[in-house]
């Protein structure tokens, strides 16, 4: 357990951890040893001169005082090491999560990681702060008392010692027999938390479906599973708890019978028997607490195992000798990529010269967004190479690559803060004037004027207090402020109404100016202006060329264009740019 804790935390904590454990062990020995002084106290009290007990009583009081000081110091040390480890663990987990491929973050993981980062970490780190001292005390104190008994009376000491292997065997057996149940119970608990998160997030969908009062069946099922799993886990631990109680009772009874037998035979006096029984009673409490502490330790162990699994997940590999690309042209060379065993990008080769715009078009599920994500190295390719400025993205440090790329997604996430804070995320060290200029270019100033708080208006969690179009303007302002030479746009305007779309469109035009752009778009107005268009289907490029070339070819892109024609035609009329399009290809 401790080894696992140190592996998860890092071995820099080994020294303070060992020091604390030594202190806790000394404290437990001090506790057990202090009971040794009860022997002369009881002997004197039951002997001919009870007054002789006074100096021993004073010594006993002093020993208890020493124990109290040690206990305070060791508990404090446990708390300090525990909280330091907790802080270290938060940093370690945070650093690791930031280096994991974006693909690792599936929806289920969000719930799992949030439980792990809150309850899981506290429970795992609570081992040092709260469980280690009672555990060491529950093991070492009884052993010390038995050593005192052995010194006091060999036969009775041996009888007490016989309980030790039985207690150890019960603990080991309970640990093994409950491991599966505990793991299942923890697993179901994590699942249920994920369902609760889902339930909260799905409120609008559930209500839209008219399920306001009805309970969420998936969550109900999950909670029922938690109940069953925790019942199974409790039942599997029960024989261990009962076994431990019976063993302690049996030890006590054996000592009582043996004491009575020895006393009747005249081998020892009543005072000695009483002393042994008092010592045995002092053993009982810590031994019985082992059952509860064991349960806590097992729970913490399963949380630690979870943390261990996350920390062992391979992060995106950083290059040993990173190369900084000098140019910003983009290239895919025979790229293949799979989600699990499903090929999503299949032998794709394409290039985008610096400063040009490539549009990626195709049916839903064709792999368009995945193509963008491979460019930003959200995932590593399974075959082939993705290059930025002629350099394999795997040879560029994540920091440098991310500094060169600005990404605008259809779904914008804003942090719970002011509009200004959210725009500033694009470049935290930007000056006031730069932030304002980016906002104006993204036509965010119109939004700011409307909002009661202006720049200081709070956007709410995830940007919930803004409309979709307003959120999109914030994200474009963010990207403009970043001023990256490469821009990736993923269906930025697909979900917007015409007014917002026009505003966002202006911002996007400014964002794209003079930059290397790859855009995934359904609105053909944007696509038409691209220098080059690739039509993707089933992860393969099936057509490639300029808008006019592809229309003339009359293939998949032309079909696509025909389906979208009403809006395309309108767009063109609005822009008065129909001149470049081949006559007769425009839908009637
Ligand atoms: N995280 C994921 N895990 C497994 N499969 C995924 C994941 N993300 C996407 N896919 C699958 O990969 C395929 C390509 O997805 P992608 O999002 O790239 O398509 P797309 O062309 O952008 O689609 P759309 O136009 O609908 O957004 C889809 O079939 C999708 O189901």
ipTM of the complex: 0.96
Whether the per-residue pLDDT at 397 is higher than 80: the answer is: yes
534 within ligand 1 shell (Cβ under 6 A): no
| Tokens coding 401 | 């690559």
Pull the structure tokens for residue 388: 């930025």
Q: Which residue has the tokens 């005192």?
A: 148
Over residues 487-505, the mean pLDDT reads: 76
450 φ/ψ angles, rounded to the nearest 5 degrees: -75, -30
User: Is 366 close to ligand 1, i.e. is its CB under 6 Å away?
Assistant: yes
Q: Let me know: does 70 contact 26? Beta carbons within 8 Å.
A: yes
Where in the chain are all domains bearing CATH 3.40.50.300?
A: 330-579
Tens of pLDDT, residue by residue over 540-584, are: 999 999 999 998 988 888 888 887 665 544 444 444 443 333 333
Task: Quote the pLDDT of residue 565.
Answer: 61
Closest CA to 475 of 461, 458, 460, 492: 492
| Whole-number Å distance between alpha carbons of 276 and 278 | 5
Using a pLDDT cut of 70, give the percent of the chain over it.
91
pLDDT for the residue numbered 495? 62
Top mean pLDDT of 3-7, 136-140, 314-318 is at 136-140
For 423-441, how does the pLDDT look when each residue is reduced to its tens digit (9 = 90+)?
888 888 888 888 888 888 8
Contact status, residue 229 vs residue 302, Cβ threshold 8 Å: no
539 lines ligand 1 (CB under 6 A): no
CB of 259 sitting under 6 A from ligand 1: no
pTM to 2 decimal places: 0.67
Number of the ligand 1 atom closest to the C-alpha atom of 367: 18
The residue whose CA has the least distance to atom 31 of ligand 1 is: 365
344 lines ligand 1 (CB under 6 A): yes
Write down the pLDDT at residue 213. Answer: 54
**Is 373 a pocket residue for ligand 1 (Cβ < 6 Å)?**
no
What gap in Å lies between CA 359 and CA 285, rounded to an integer?
Answer: 74
pLDDT confidence bin for 226, thresholds 50/70/90: confident
Say yes or no: CB of residue 243 within 6 Å of ligand 1. Answer: no
CATH superfamily entry for domain 330-579: P-loop containing nucleotide triphosphate hydrolases (3.40.50.300)
Q: Which residue's CA is minimally distant from atom 28 of ligand 1?
A: 365
Opening angle at CA 572, ends 567 and 574, nearest 5: 95
Q: For residue 369, how far is its CA from the centre of ligand 1 (angstroms)?
A: 7
Is 372 touching ligand 1 by the criterion CB < 6 Å?
no
Ligand 1 pocket: which of 365, 492, 527 to mutate (most atoms <8 Å of CB)?
365
Least confidently predicted of 62-71, 178-187, 249-258, 482-491: 178-187
Strand pairing category for 486-490 and 405-408: parallel
pLDDT recorded at residue 361: 92
Which is more confidently placed, 460 or 588?
Answer: 460
CATH of domain 2-312: 1.20.1560.10
Rounded to an integer, what distance in angstroms lies between the CA atom of residue 441 and that of residue 510? 7
Q: Is the pLDDT of residue 586 over 50?
A: no
Task: Give the separation between CA 519 and CA 410, rounded to whole angstroms.
Answer: 11
Is 190 exposed, middle or buried, given 0-12, 13-18 or 19+ CB atoms closer than 10 A? buried
pLDDT at 494: 66
User: Which of ligand 1's atoms lies nearest the C-alpha of 340?
Assistant: 4
Q: Does residue 345 have its Cβ closer than 6 Å to ligand 1?
A: no
- Exposure string of 406-427, with b = 16+ CB inside 10 Å and e = fewer, is bbbbbebebeebbbbbbbbebb
* 510: Cβ contacts below 8 Å, ≥ 6 apart: 441, 442, 480
């Amino acid at each position: 357990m401790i080894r696992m804790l140190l592996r998860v935390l890092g071995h820099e904590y080994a020294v303070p951890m060992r020091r604390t454990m030594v202190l806790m062990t000394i404290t437990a020995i001090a506790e057990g040893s202090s009971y040794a002084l009860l022997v002369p106290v009881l002997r004197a009290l039951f002997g001919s001169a009870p007054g002789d007990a006074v100096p021993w009583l004073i010594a006993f009081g002093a020993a208890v005082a020493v124990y109290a000081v040690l206990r305070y110091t060791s508990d404090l040390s446990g708390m300090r090491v525990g909280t330091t480890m907790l802080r270290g663990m938060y940093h370690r987990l945070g650093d690791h999560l930031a280096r994991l491929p974006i693909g690792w973050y599936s929806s289920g993981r969000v719930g799992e990681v949030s439980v792990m980062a809150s309850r899981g970490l506290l429970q795992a780190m609570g081992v040092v702060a709260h469980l280690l001292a009672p555990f060491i005390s529950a093991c070492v104190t009884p052993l010390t008392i038995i050593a005192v008994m052995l010194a006091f009376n060999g036969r009775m000491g041996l009888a007490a010692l016989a309980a030790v292997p039985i207690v150890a065997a019960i603990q080991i057996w309970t640990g093994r027999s409950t491991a599966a149940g505990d793991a299942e119970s923890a697993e179901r608990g994590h699942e249920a938390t994920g369902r609760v998160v889902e339930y909260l997030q799905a409120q609008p969908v559930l209500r839209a479906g008219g399920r306001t009062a009805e309970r969420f069946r998936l969550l109900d099922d999950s909670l029922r599973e938690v109940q069953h799993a925790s019942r199974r886990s409790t039942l599997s631990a029960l024989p261990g708890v009962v076994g431990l109680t019976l063993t302690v009772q049996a030890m006590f009874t054996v000592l009582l019978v043996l004491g009575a037998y020895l006393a009747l035979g005249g081998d020892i006096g009543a005072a000695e028997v009483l002393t042994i029984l008092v010592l045995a009673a002092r053993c009982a409490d810590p031994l019985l607490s082992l059952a509860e502490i064991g349960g806590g330790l097992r729970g913490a162990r399963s949380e630690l195992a979870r943390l261990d699994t996350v920390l062992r997940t391979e992060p995106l590999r950083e290059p040993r000798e990173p190369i900084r690309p000098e140019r910003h042209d983009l290239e895919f060379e025979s790229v293949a990529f799979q989600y699990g065993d499903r090929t999503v990008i299949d032998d794709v080769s394409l290039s985008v010269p610096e400063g040009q715009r490539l549009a990626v078009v195709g049916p839903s599920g064709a792999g368009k967004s995945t193509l963008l994500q491979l460019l930003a190295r959200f995932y590593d390719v399974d075959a082939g190479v993705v290059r930025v400025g002629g350099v394999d993205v795997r040879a560029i440090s994540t920091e440098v690559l991310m500094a060169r790329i600005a990404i605008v997604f259809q779904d914008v996430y804003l942090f719970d803060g002011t509009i200004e804070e959210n725009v500033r995320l694009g470049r935290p060290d930007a000056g006031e004037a730069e932030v304002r200029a980016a906002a104006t270019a993204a036509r965010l100033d119109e939004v700011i004027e409307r909002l009661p708080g202006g720049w200081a208006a709070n956007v709410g969690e995830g940007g919930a207090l803004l409309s979709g179009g307003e959120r999109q303007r914030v994200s474009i302002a963010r990207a403009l402020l970043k001023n990256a030479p490469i821009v990736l746009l993923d269906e930025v305007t697909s979900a917007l109404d015409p007014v917002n779309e026009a505003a966002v469109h202006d911002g996007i035009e400014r964002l794209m100016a003079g930059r290397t752009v790859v855009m995934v778009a359904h609105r053909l107005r944007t696509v038409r202006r691209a220098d080059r268009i690739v039509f993707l289907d089933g992860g393969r490029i099936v057509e490639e060329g300029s808008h006019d070339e592809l229309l003339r070819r009359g293939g998949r892109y032309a079909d696509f264009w025909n389906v979208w024609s009403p809006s395309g035609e309108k767009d063109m009329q609005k822009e008065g740019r129909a001149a470049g399009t081949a006559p007769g290809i425009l839908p009637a």
